A and B are shown apart, each in its own frame.
Chain A
């Protein structure tokens, strides 16, 4: 989830898209990813290289590519939609790609980036989500067993405050900075003119580039990413709610997708002759006239009609107010005795 918009928050969109790319590379398909972005970077009038979002200076890597599927874009990224996705309380008309269809064996990775403060995260400069609401949403998910294990990564200023209030089991959380610290951005690109990435996410991505779907790296290595010397802020993590030891948790448990597989050793025997022939013969199709759309619009008339005469309306309030103002000013300046010259 990228919670910022506007050109100067380029780095948040680049953060999110880079994590999205890594996760897809490690095997998670789009049908299992919900991506919420303001999506106003690639086609921003201020972007010197349109249709691209770069994550590294010297424009090495275009993370916006051809294969990005944004589920919630622009003004749809709101606290309400985010909480609805998490808890599942979505209006029935929402398509499948905008839903979180997880069950009790799903491991969920949540990555959020943007501007935050002590106990809140700002969504698109107009609203905010507090750590209490987030903790409650996770509890609602746990009650309905919508996750097996959950990894929460947040890259904002004072990010550690967002995971302080979690109380549901099986949650592990990582943040880029402690309460009272700011998360800093990595490097500006002089060609594009903004900072391209945040430090914490940059080093996390460097770490993830080493991971391939069969790797055995565990979570303790992820906790060591971006020490204070590189990151300036102190990354934090929280594992007390998690039942397994982080040593035994593979990175690919959350970032990739490795399924349990069983060899099929049983077969059933089918008798082709027994299969009922008569049952599913298509019914004799009656020859009917080809169906046509009913004539709904008199197209010929529409093409050839003359423009309709608009009815005359008396001038509206604005025009009247404007004229009243002009008249008042006139009489104020020149005195009321000039009125007889008008009438």
Chain B
């Protein structure tokens, strides 16, 4: 189905005194609109529209920029900004400013603002600002990944479909695997860890979807692969190419939640057996991985937690192990971010990103997710409704119930609203509208009454009824013909009755 998206991003560029480049086209403040087109396929185009307002700082902002470090400045500037979802504010500081450390020209904060070092004239500043805007909202690759259904196969990168698809909810399951309960009595305070570390991240992501969390402990669950013993480091190693085979034997025992139909994200913590400790994961070059963890796109992650050998060989087994949940949650939450596609690795070196701390993700990363998911949702709705319309064309006598019809109308209205809101730059309402549209369209498409089996094509109807009725009809038709002939004959000779 053809779809035209217009994504508008409201950006504010604020010039601190001493940072205004000499070659500005117009005096401050002024507005500028930049539109570019991203062709996705023949019938889908995405137009991005950066509506930039350039102005100079207010007195309060000047005071905030007097702070000692970039982080403090960012915190002070936060209440003075427009913090609606999707909007960005960039403060340009003079080239000689000490706010940004040496060698760093861009500092991206936890919320929706960034500090940019001026220098090099307007063109260089513009290029830096554009790059920054793309990092904080969406890039060509993130939008084409969201529309991966429509992109012709050759153009997609090999890992374009590894991020989680946009869904109305996700189930997160934390599992502790203890293959050797005789040696290790493992205790993990998962409830406390979830409340303290995971819940704040999920609360922040609650705008995107509903999350539910559960946990379990599995005993005698072994990995499907036997690790090799490495004499040099006197430890056991799992090589990178054996990792794909680890997941399947475990998955059979994980148990999938019977209640919900949402995608499940599994996070497994594996405590190796005494005989296989310590166990390290090797990457492709043979070096041990610092996190001792790996993840599988759209499935979840596994972390190996090594327990130190007991001090004396006569120590009584089982050893009591208290899992350090902070270390574990740091890895699991990082894996959760990667599963959603929020990676911080592909940035140029002169960018400094503020760590989001216990929140798990920065506001602009949430925006990135929302942009991609909104576009994906609208594209899905369009494909679903078109497919439904094609089904109705094919089977002419299909019966559409009233509630299916009302869901379709609602889906269309919500999708139109979402597209309109995107074009204006209201990301929050656009995302909510797209979520409503997806819910309605899925409900309409997957309604159990639309099974094409229930509606016979015409040729099947003929094939069934003709052999029944045709032989019966032959004598009836012949008799009718006879009656008609007789009546006509009688009419012709009325005078015969004497």
Contacts and interface: CB of A to CB of B under 8 A. Distances in A.
Interface string A54-88: 00000000000000000000000001100110011
A21 to B, nearest CB: 13
Given A96-B256, A103-B165, A104-B149, A270 B333 contact: yes
A88 B454 CA distance: 15
B331 A89 contact: no
B267 to A, nearest CB: 11
Contact of B451 (A89, A99, A105, A280): A89
Nearest to A26: B248
Contact of A214 (B148, B245, B299, B449): B245
Contacts of B195: 279-280
Contacts of A31: 251-252, 255-256
Nearest to B290: A265
B291 A243 contact: no
Contacts of A270: 197, 326, 329-330, 333, 357-358
Interface in B443-497: 445-454
Interface in A117-144: 133, 136-137, 140, 143-144
B427 to A, nearest CB: 24
A140 B248 CA distance: 29
B20 interface: no
B297 A262 contact: yes
B209 interface: no
A214 B446 CA distance: 37
B379 to A, nearest CB: 11
Interface stretch (A150-158, A229-237, A253-261, A331-339): A253-261
A260 B249 CA distance: 15
Nearest to A169: B153
Nearest to A274: B358
Contact of B357 (A89, A258, A271): A271
A80 B357 contact: no
Interface of A is mostly: loop
B162 interface: yes
Nearest to A129: B453
Contacts of A272: 196, 326
B326 A29 contact: no
Nearest to B165: A103
B391 interface: yes
Interface string B255-274: 11111110000000000000
B450 A89 contact: yes
A158 B483 CA distance: 51
Of the listed residues B148, B303, B333, B446, the one surrounded by the most CB atoms of chain A closer than 10 A to its CB is B446
A271 B452 contact: no
Interface stretch (B10-18, B338-346, B367-375): B338-346
A90 interface: yes
A166 to B, nearest CB: 16
Contacts of B249: 27
A28 B355 CA distance: 39
A151 B388 CA distance: 25
Nearest to A31: B256
A27 B195 CA distance: 34
A101 interface: yes
A80 B448 CA distance: 11
B453 A269 contact: no
B461 to A, nearest CB: 14
Contact of B387 (A137, A144, A262, A279): A144
A267 B355 CA distance: 11
A259 B451 contact: no
Given A97-B258, A262-B295, A264-B335, A30 B383 contact: no
A74 B487 CA distance: 61
A262 B290 CA distance: 14
A88 B244 CA distance: 29
A266 B334 contact: yes
A266 B343 CA distance: 8
A307 interface: no
B450 A264 contact: no
A278 B281 CA distance: 38
Contact of A264 (B200, B224, B301, B448): B301
Contact of B295 (A83, A103, A261): A261
Contacts of A271: 357-358
B347 interface: no
Interface string B177-197: 000000000000000000111
Contacts of A83: 451-453
Contacts of A95: 258
A264 B293 contact: yes
Contacts of B387: 140, 143-144
A95 B258 CA distance: 7
A87 B149 contact: no
Given A83-B453, A271-B358, A265 B153 contact: no
Contacts of B358: 270-271, 274-275
Of the listed residues B240, B248, B449, the one surrounded by the most CB atoms of chain A closer than 10 A to its CB is B248
Interface in A248-307: 256-272, 274-277, 279-280
Interface of A: 27-31, 79-80, 83-84, 87-91, 95-97, 99, 101, 103-105, 133, 136-137, 140, 143-145, 213-214, 243, 256-272, 274-277, 279-280
Given A30-B252, A87-B451, A89-B450, 18 more contacts: A31-B251, A89-B448, A96-B257, A96-B260, A136-B394, A258-B248, A259-B244, A259-B296, A260-B297, A261-B294, A262-B297, A262-B338, A268-B330, A268-B333, A272-B326, A277-B196, A279-B195, A280-B195
A-B complex: 6 closest residue pairs judged by Cβ atoms: A27-B248, A143-B387, A275-B196, A29-B252, A280-B195, A264-B293
